[in-house]
Chains A and B, each alone.
Chain A
Amino acid sequence: DADVTQTPRNRITKTGKRIMLECSQTKGHDRMYWYRQDPGLGLRLIYYSFDVKDINKGEISDGYSVSRQAQAKFSLSLESAIPNQTALYFCATISLSGELFFGEGSRLTVL
């Protein structure tokens, strides 16, 4: 099994719908991240969490919210999806040595 698991892997939805992307990890790391990848823009940080009580906004948090349900679970929500949120979303954890471990990504299409 993968160390970082994201669900769903692919999702097509309509404008205005609420969407949740879920992430779970078995690495035992405290720190978890949500990134968004767009062609030509690289990965941009949406939110990050250092433990269940510590959640921080990244560079592009508008339109997104997160929930850290447990050390191993970190969910990303789009309360009212819009087409420019169409992207590939990655969850990641980070080791004490600074290495990020990524899930396989969740491809979201908003029509």
Chain B
Amino acid sequence: AQSVTQPDIHITVSEGASLELRCNYSYGATPYLFWYVQSPGQGLQLLLKYFSGDTLVQGIKGFEAEFKRSQSSFNLRKPSVHWSDAAEYFCAVGVSGGYQKVTFGTGTKLQVIP
């Protein structure tokens, strides 16, 4: 079964600073990888996804993520954080090929300070 680890429960960054959120996954084959964002009181919204091809993927709101097979990682990055990026971020791994199941990490809560 697949699993996802997000080692950082809470991260605080200054507005304008760069951001990297870590995600490690466990899955026997090439995974489908996702990053979702949850703003307070809201459901989850897809930021970006990786299925195959270029290992650096671009998403919405200026986010990007890089798939590194050797490290089983899919870290999320943003060069300059805005106050509106404060939210909880979830990494997820999907299994497809007939049955689509998505497993989520425990989330990283991002705080942005002025």
Residues of A within 8 A of B (CB): 4, 31, 33, 35, 40-45, 48, 50, 90, 94, 97-100, 102-105
Contacts and interface: CB of A to CB of B under 8 A. Distances in A.
Contacts of A44: 104
Max chain A Cβ within 10 angstroms of own Cβ: one of B9, B34, B102: B102
Max chain A Cβ within 10 angstroms of own Cβ: one of B6, B43, B44: B43
Contacts of A99: 34, 46, 49
- Interface size class, chain B: 20 to 34
Nearest to A104: B43
A102 B92 CA distance: 14
Max chain B Cβ within 10 angstroms of own Cβ: one of A31, A99, A103: A99
Given A94-B100, A104-B43, 9 more contacts: A40-B9, A42-B106, A43-B104, A97-B49, A98-B49, A98-B96, A99-B46, A102-B44, A105-B42
A104 B6 CA distance: 23
Contacts of A98: 32, 34, 49, 51, 94, 96, 100, 102
A48 B107 CA distance: 21
Contacts, number: 55
A54 B70 CA distance: 37
Contacts of A94: 100, 102
B90 interface: yes
A99 B49 CA distance: 8
Interface string B39-59: 001111110010100000000
30 contacts: A33-B102, A35-B104, A40-B106, A41-B106, A42-B6, A42-B104, A42-B105, A42-B107, A43-B44, A43-B104, A44-B104, A50-B99, A94-B102, A97-B49, A97-B51, A98-B34, A98-B49, A98-B96, A98-B100, A98-B102, A99-B49, A100-B34, A100-B44, A100-B92, A100-B102, A102-B44, A102-B45, A103-B43, A104-B41, A105-B43
